[in-house]
Each structure stands twice: as structure tokens, then as C-alpha cells.
């Protein structure tokens, strides 16, 4: 396909411009700069891949591997520099077959003897005979599995000082042997030598030039003179070396990365080049969100005066409803969706909280601290994907399943029914954790949870109800990144001055979960609302407890 693409370029008017690449990312930049095709430069590969001279030190298979990487990274055709074909006609047969089968558009082989030395190096440049090279070309053409594959025959006659006549003679013989294009290489300091060649050349085979040593010659000028393909062979490599050399020196000297920030590609550019957004879309499409195990932390330390004497000898979470405590019901539900790493934070009447197979943490300061402090009592158990829930709520399994499917950094189960209650009856449950969402719901008598979860703008108990869109039910999921941010807030909160209000709390140590969530929102951590409609209850009062009995 790419071989055909290159053939089409040959039919187009004007020159075909190639730039050399030494790896996949430099090839991508060649493509983005608008070049027609990529030149896989043996000079560039030897330097970048091995930091060795361009002297047949890279094997055919090494060159093939890198050429394949480059080919996969770009949509434009790739022409690989295969030196002298790595040996005689038999080696050339294998080379051409492998490169053509790999989808490379074409290769160049030169008449330098094996092992070759880079054309630009001073010193001797031995060539094989015209007959030997013609045999290699015939072998390549007869063995090539793709008729569109381009075989560039390159003569080093000018490089080795054999002169114009020899260059013309060899070029003619190579065209005769079946070459699809002829590269006339020169290391003269001016384009005169190659221009003299085109003046005398009478053949029809397209000509290729590499203007490294005569950089003042423009593509336009070379094209006018008769060159169809112009290869800027090593400029990307040299640009990269100059950039790395200068910025590394400066970085070493200053010891602070900021000093070179303006001179290096932003991370976003690298992400974009390597396709991070496609990668994320694939992750979302093909990797189940639940693959990373979820830990759960049940916050059951608090004391609720309203519920005395019911909770005289046990905390709320141990209240029995039809023979099973709230905690037992929660743990059974969590296990039913595969969550087995379960932590419970105890405080008030802690000794009464018992449950096989869960891990306990203590908040001895439950009387004077907030829910956030209870959460942080679980310490290093707060790791990876983390579900956090109040110890006094009961909820439907589907709510839990929907929350676990959410891919946000922080996802809250938010009951939309609150909105309908408030709008129609002007009522809001005492002490409800209110949520202001980015998307205002429409009040209707029917409801279908939105597949998309909207952002949470504000959360707290003292928000203006007119702006609120739902109630946080006390069940939320943190992604691994969300949990990391939670720890960051904890560390910073611990060293913040005491006695200063923290969102709605009088201080950080008395903060509730909603204060932590508001802090996350303020820090631009994406907090999403997973919309639900009823299907849960909280046991905060006698009335709640009575209702729980009636409902279950």
C-alpha cells in the first residue's frame, strides 16, 4: 500500500521531499513537518541506536526492526537505507524480500563494497564492480514480492573520486538492470558535481539526491536541475543532538528543570505524539473498570445522641434490623460485588463492633474529631481504588454497581430524589449532605439515571438549597489517583494552622467527609456525581430506624 503511495508521488509534478528519521518519534515529526516520505537513515540509526559509526555495523535485521517501528508510527511511505544490501546478490534477495513483506515502500542499495564506510567520512571508499552491482539489482527485482516496491540503486562513484564519466556509466548500467530510481551521491562542497551529472544524464529513471554537504542548494533548484527525490538525510538527528546537548548542559548547571522548560517540548506534546488519548479510550472501552481491586472503608466511629438509649451499648452500625446489623448487611453487599478488602473504623463503643473477615481501625478521638479524622485513622489501608461509606446507610446493590463502574477520580452517589422533594414540598432532610451539580435536573415524575455523570461544583450541609441538585448519600469511590490526592490533603491538613475553619468545619481535625470533598473540588480534582433515585436509607433518628424496619 505504501509502495503504491510512493509510486503515486513519483507521478506527481514537482520534487518528492524526504527527511531522515532514526526512530519512530522522529519519523512522526518528519510526517508532521509535511515531508512526503521518511528516509530510514543508516547514518542516523547507527548513531542513535548504537552510537557507532555508519560502517555496516548495524545488521539487516536491526535495520528492519527499526524500519518496521517507523513504518507503524506514520502514514506516509518509508524508504529504508539498506547500505550495500549487506553482502552479495544472495543477501540482497533476503533484504528486499524482508523489507517488502514488512510494508516498507522501498529500499536503497549502494555499490559500496562490504563493509562500507559512510560516504561522508574522509578516506577510502571501495566500490564493487558495475557487474557485481548490476547482479544485485537484478536479483532484487526478480525476488521482490511487491511489484510497486521501489528499488533505489545508489552509486558512490563521485564519492570515491572516480569522476562523472564513471558515475554516468554506472547509473546507466543500474537503470538497465532494473533500478526504479538512481541516487547520485556526492560530498562536494557545492552542488556543481551533481548538477553536472543531471546535465549529461539522458536516461528516464528518476534521480535522487542527498544535499548534506551542499546545504545551500534548495529543493527547488535541485528539482529544476532534474532531481525528482531530495533527501534531507540527517537533519532531524542533528537537531535533536544540538537540543539535547544544550538543554542538558543548562539543566546540569542550574540544577532546576524550570530553566529549560521553555526550550523543551511540553509533556502534553509527547502525550499527543504517542497517542495517550487513544490509549485511554481503549482502556475505557476494553478494560473492565473493576479489574483493579477495590478496598472499602466503613466509617462507624460516630456517636448519635438522637438514638439513645437504642445505642447505649453499641454504635449505630451494630443496630439490628430484622436480625442483621447494618454492618453485617453492608459487608454482605460489598462481598457480593467482589469487595473483600474491607476496613471498619471504630470509635464509640468500639468493642461492640465485631465482624469476621474485616480489618478494624480505631479513632479514639471520635468525640472531638470529624468523620475525616475517622477516615484517616485507616492510614495505609487507604490505597488504590477505594470505596468510602458511612456506617449507618443501607442501599440497593445497583447503586453500588453503578458507582463501581464510574471512571472518575472521585465519584459520589447523589440522590436526585432530594431535588424533587425540595422543589415540590420545599423540604430537605435535617443535616443532609447537599450537592450542587453542574447539570440542573428537570423535575418530572419519571426518572432514568443519566449515563453520564456530571461534575459536582459544591458539597456541604449549609449550601443554598435553591442551587442544590441532589443529596450525597454517604457512599463514594476514589480512583487510585483520587486516593493519592486524599493523602495529599491529609498531609497538608495535618500541618495547617489549628483552629482555623476548614470549609464548613471549625477546623481540619473536625472536618467531615464533605469538607474533604469540597477541598478536592477546590483543588480542581474532578469530582463526579453518579445520579441515583431513592433506593437507600440512613439511620440517623428513631424515625429512620423505624422506617428501616418497615422497608427491609
Q: Could you list the residues that contact ligand SPV (CB under 6 A)?
A: 20, 41-43, 54, 81, 118-120, 210, 212, 233-234
Nearer to ligand SPV, 120 or 310 (CB): 120
- Residue 20 binds: one of Mg ion, ligand SPV, none (C-beta under 5 to 8 A by kind): ligand SPV
Q: Which three cell numbers stand for residue 459?
A: 458539597
Least distance (Å) from ligand SPV to the CB of residue 135? 22
Give the torsion through C-alpha atoms of 255, 259, 265, 271, to 10 deg: 60
Shortest CB 276 distance to ligand SPV, Å: 31
Please give the helix or strand (H or E) that residue 320 lies within, else none. Answer: strand 320-321
We find the least distance from the C-beta atom of residue 192 to ligand SPV, in angstroms, to be 17
CA distance 102 to 229: 23
Q: Least distance (Å) from ligand SPV to the CB of residue 241?
A: 15
Nearest to 347 by CA among 331, 329, 364: 364
54 is catalytic: yes
Q: Which residue is nearest to Mg ion (CB)?
A: 42
Distance from C-alpha of 416 to C-alpha of 409, rounded to nearest angstrom? 21
CB of 212 or CB of 223, closer to ligand SPV: 212
> With CB cut-offs between 5 and 8 Å by kind, which of Mg ion, ligand SPV, none does residue 210 bind?
ligand SPV
Binding-site ranges for Mg ion (CB under 5 A): 42, 81
- CB atoms closer than 10 angstroms to residue 99: 28
Taking CA 27 as the corner, what is the angle to CA 21 and CA 29, rounded to the nearest 5 degrees?
Answer: 115
Nearer to ligand SPV, 158 or 344 (CB): 158
Q: Is the separation of the CB atoms in 151 and 180 below 8 Å?
A: yes
Q: Which does 119 bind (CB under 5 to 8 A by kind): Mg ion, ligand SPV, none?
A: ligand SPV
Closer by beta carbon to ligand SPV, 27 or else 118: 118
Element (H or E) spanning 397, and its range?
helix 397-405
| DSSP string computed for 120-153 | TSSS---B--HHHHHHHHHHHHHH-S-TT-EEEE
Residue 217 CB, nearest approach to ligand SPV (Å):
14
By C-beta, is 27 or 373 nearer to ligand SPV? 27
Query: Which one of ligand SPV, Mg ion, none interacts with residue 289, CB within 5 to 8 A by kind?
Result: none
What is the 8-class DSSP label of residue 508?
G
State the SS3 of 33-78.
Answer: CCCCEEEECHHHHHHHHHCCCCCCCCCHHHHHHHHHHHHHHCCCCE
Active-site position among 54, 180, 433, 544: 54
Name the binder of 330 from Mg ion, ligand SPV, none, CB < 5-8 A by kind: none
Q: Which residues are catalytic?
A: 54
Amino acid at each position: 500500500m505504501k509502495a503504491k503511495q510512493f509510486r503515486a508521488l513519483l507521478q506527481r509534478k514537482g520534487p518528492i521531499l524526504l527527511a531522515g528519521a532514526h526512530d519512530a518519534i522522529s519519523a512522526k515529526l518528519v510526517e508532521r513537518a509535511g515531508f512526503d516520505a521518511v528516509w530510514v537513515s543508516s547514518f542516523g540509526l547507527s548513531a542513535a541506536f548504537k552510537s557507532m559509526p555508519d560502517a555496516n555495523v548495524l545488521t539487516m535485521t536491526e535495520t528492519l526492526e527499526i524500519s518496521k517501528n517507523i513504518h507503524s508510527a506514520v502514514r506516509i511511505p518509508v524508504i529504508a537505507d539498506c547500505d550495500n544490501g549487506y553482502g552479495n546478490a544472495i543477501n540482497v534477495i533476503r533484504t528486499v524480500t524482508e523489507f517488502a513483506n514488512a510494508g516498507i515502500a522501498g529500499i536503497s542499495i549502494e555499490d559500496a563494497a562490504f563493509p562500507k564506510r559512510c560516504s561522508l567520512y574522509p578516506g577510502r571508499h571501495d566500490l564493487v564492480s558495475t557487474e557485481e552491482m548490476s547482479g544485485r539489482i537484478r536479483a532484487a527485482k526478480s525476488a521482490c514480492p511487491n511489484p510497486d516496491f521501489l528499488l533505489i540503486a545508489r552509486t558512490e562513484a563521485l564519492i570515491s573520486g572516480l569522476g562523472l564519466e564513471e558515475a554516468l556509466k554506472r547509473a546507466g548500467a543500474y537503470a538497465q538492470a532494473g533500478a526504479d530510481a538512481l541516487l547520485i551521491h556526492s560530498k562536494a562542497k557545492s552542488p556543481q558535481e551533481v548538477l553536472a551529472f543531471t546535465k549529461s544524464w539522458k536516461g528516464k529513471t528518476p534521480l535522487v539526491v542527498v544535499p548534506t554537504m551542499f546545504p545551500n542548494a534548495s529543493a527547488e533548484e535541485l528539482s529544476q536541475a532534474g532531481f525528482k527525490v531530495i533527501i534531507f538525510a540527517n537533519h532531524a538527528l542533528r537537531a535533536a543532538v544540538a537540543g539535547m546537548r544544550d538543554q542538558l548542559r543548562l539543566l546540569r548547571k542550574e540544577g532546576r528543570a524550570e530553566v529549560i522548560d521553555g526550550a523543551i517540548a511540553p509533556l502534553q506534546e509527547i502525550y499527543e505524539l504517542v497517542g495517550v488519548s487513544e490509549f485511554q479510550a481503549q482502556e475505557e472501552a476494553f478494560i473492565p473498570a473493576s479489574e483493579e481491586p477495590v478496598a472499602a472503608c466503613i466509617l462507624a466511629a460516630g456517636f448519635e445522641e438522637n438514638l439513645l438509649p437504642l445505642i447505649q451499648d453499641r454504635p449505630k452500625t451494630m443496630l439490628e434490623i430484622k436480625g442483621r446489623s447494618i454492618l453485617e448487611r453492608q459487608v454482605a453487599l460489598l462481598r457480593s460485588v467482589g469487595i473483600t478488602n474491607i476496613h471498619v473504623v471504630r470509635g464509640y463503643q468500639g468493642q461492640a463492633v465485631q465482624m469476621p473477615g474485616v480489618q478494624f481501625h480505631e479513632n479514639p478521638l471520635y468525640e472531638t474529631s470529624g468523620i475525616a479524622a475517622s477516615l484517616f485513622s485507616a492510614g495505609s489501608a487507604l490505597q488504590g481504588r477505594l470505596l468510602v461509606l458511612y456506617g449507618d446507610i443501607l442501599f440497593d446493590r445497583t447503586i453500588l454497581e453503578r458507582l463501581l463502574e464510574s471512571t472518575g477520580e472521585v465519584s459520589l452517589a447523589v440522590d436526585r430524589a432530594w431535588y424533587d422533594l425540595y422543589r415540590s414540598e420545599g423540604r430537605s432532610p435535617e443535616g443532609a449532605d447537599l450537592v450542587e451539580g453542574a447539570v440542573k435536573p428537570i423535575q418530572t415524575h419519571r426518572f432514568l439515571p443519566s449515563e453520564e455523570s456530571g461534575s459536582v461544583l459544591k458539597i456541604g450541609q449549609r449550601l443554598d438549597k435553591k442551587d442544590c441538585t441532589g443529596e450525597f448519600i454517604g457512599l463514594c469511590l476514589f480512583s487510585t489517583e483520587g486516593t493519592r490526592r486524599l493523602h495529599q490533603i491529609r498531609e497538608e491538613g495535618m500541618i495547617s494552622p489549628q483552629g482555623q475553619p476548614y470549609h464548613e468545619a471549625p477546623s481540619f481535625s473536625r472536618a467531615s467527609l464533605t469538607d474533604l470533598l469540597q477541598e478536592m473540588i477546590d483543588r480542581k480534582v474532578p469530582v463526579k456525581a453518579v445520579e441515583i433515585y431513592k433506593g437507600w436509607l440512613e439511620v440517623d433518628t428513631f424515625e429512620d430506624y423505624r422506617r428501616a424496619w418497615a422497608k427491609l
